Amino acid sequence: MFEFVLKRVLQAIPVLWIVITVAFLFVHAAPGGPFSQERAVPPEVLKALNERYKLDQPLLIQYSDYLRNLARGDLGPSFKYPGRTVSEIILAGMPVTFELGFYALLVALAVGIGAGILAATRPNTMRDYLPMSLAMVGICLPTYVLGPLLVLFFGIRLEWLPVSGWGYLPGDKILPSMTLGLAYAAYVARLCRGGMLEILSQDFIRTARAKGLPETTVIYKHALRGGLQPVVSFLGPALAGLLGGSFVIETLFQIPGLGRYYVQAAFNRDYTLVLGTTIFFSTLILVFNLLADIATVWLNPRLRQEDGARA
């Protein structure tokens, strides 16, 4: 197990390096520098700016400088937020985005797994069709449609919940978390149902029933662990998706999180911020994928043991 984790971590390092390099090259290959957008910048000012940000140096020098600074956790200064470094901006936005992602994941797992078990234990009945139809709606309604709909209903018509912000008013975290989580709840529900149905048709479930175990024990002790495997494998990609979704949610609900910074930075051609955020997100997603892999192996004794035995 330890060897497996170590191997995966070591594999992630070159991947991260490739990501950094590609992102760096992309950003630097962009037509026009960060300051060319503002109209009529006098050439001498442009030159001074380029010098200040070392944009006049050869690419290789810039690249090695960037890597060296990166190793110290310094992502450079932001072009568009003078006086603030990229690291500061990321650190400021990170807690909000993490919190949003965490609540959304809770919603997704709680609703999704619940609905999946409900559907799988009574396949082809109303208890299956209803949650699965809702899941289909969830998959076909993108967050930027679902969000406004929820806002319209709970926020404007019923006036139950605040429609924007994060942490300013009581309950203002509910709508964004729900919006982001429900779409993934739909995926989780489908995966969970599929996984559970597969496991419930296995011979060892018949053995468990033949032993006279109560149905709840059969489902939660014998079936759930295997049935959740597709969900666990989906967690890595889901978290990546949640991050992407957070761009939309943070824009919709005016939440001062990283996603919103990223989108704004992209529009503003704030290259250092875009680059820094890309690297940060990539690292995050690599870590989550790693955790999902480890969880998958840990959940399945066959994989765990075989690896342990040969290690």
Partner 1 sequence: MALLSVKDLSVCFHTRLGLARAVDRISFDLETGRTLGIVGESGSGKTVTAHSLLGLLPSPPARIENGSALFDGIDLLRAPEDVLRAVRGNRISMIFQDPLSSLNPYLTIGTQLIEPLRVHGGLSRKAATERAMAGLDEVGISHPAERLHSYPHEFSGGMRQRVMIAMALSTAPDILIADEPTTALDVTIQAQILDLIRHLQGRHGIATIFISHNLGVIAGIADEVMVMRRGVCVERGSAEDVFYRPAHVYTRQLLASIPTRGKPTPPPAESPDAAPLLKIDGIRVSYAQRKAPFGRRPTARIRAVDDVSLELHRGEILGLVGESGSGKSTMARTLLRLVEPDSGSLTMEGVPLGSLRGSALRAIRPRLQMIFQDPYSSLDPRMTVHECLREALLQRAPASREQVLRESTQLMLDVGLEPAQIGKYPHEFSGGQRQRIAIARALAMRPELIVADEPVSSLDVTVQALILDLLLELNRRRGVTLIIISHDLSVIRYVSDRTAVMYRGRIVELGATEDLFREPKHGYTRALLSAIPIPDPRVERSRRRTFYAEGEQEAGKMAPSTQSPLF
Partner 2 sequence: MPEQPAGVAAMPGREAMHSPSLWRDAGLRLARNRLAMIGLIVLAFMVVLALLTPWIAPYSYEAQDLELGPVAPAPAHWLGTDIFGRDLLTRILYGSRVSLAVGFLATAVALTIGVLWGACAGYIGGGADAVMMRIVDILYALPFTIFIILLMVVFGQNILLLFFAIGAVEWLTMARIVRGQVLSVRHQEYIEAAVTMGLSRWQIIRRHVIPNVLGPVIVYTTLTIPNVILLESFLSFLGLGVQPPASSWGVLIAYGVETMEEYPWLLFFPAATLSLALFSLNFLGDGLRDALDPRASKD
Selected binder of partner 2 within 1, 5, 19, 197 (CB under 8 A): 19
**Interface characters, 285-304, with partner 1 (x: CB under 8 A):** ------------x-xxxxx-
Selected binder of partner 2 within 1, 5, 12, 295 (CB under 8 A): 12
**Interface characters, 262-301, with partner 2 (x: CB under 8 A):** xx--xx-x----x--xx--xx--xx--x------------
9 binds partner 2 (CB under 8 A): no
Complex with partner 2: residue 224 or 286, whichever CB lies closer: 286
**Interface characters, 57-96, with partner 2 (x: CB under 8 A):** ----------------------------------------
Complex with partner 1: residue 6 or 67, whichever CB lies closer: 6
End-to-end alpha carbon distance in the chain: 8
Least CB distance from residue 254 to partner 2, whole Å? 13
Give the footprint of partner 2 on this chain (CB under 8 A).
11-12, 15, 18-19, 23, 26-27, 29-31, 136, 139-142, 144-145, 147-148, 152, 156, 236-237, 240-241, 243-244, 247-248, 251-252, 262-263, 266-267, 269, 274, 277-278, 281-282, 285-286, 289
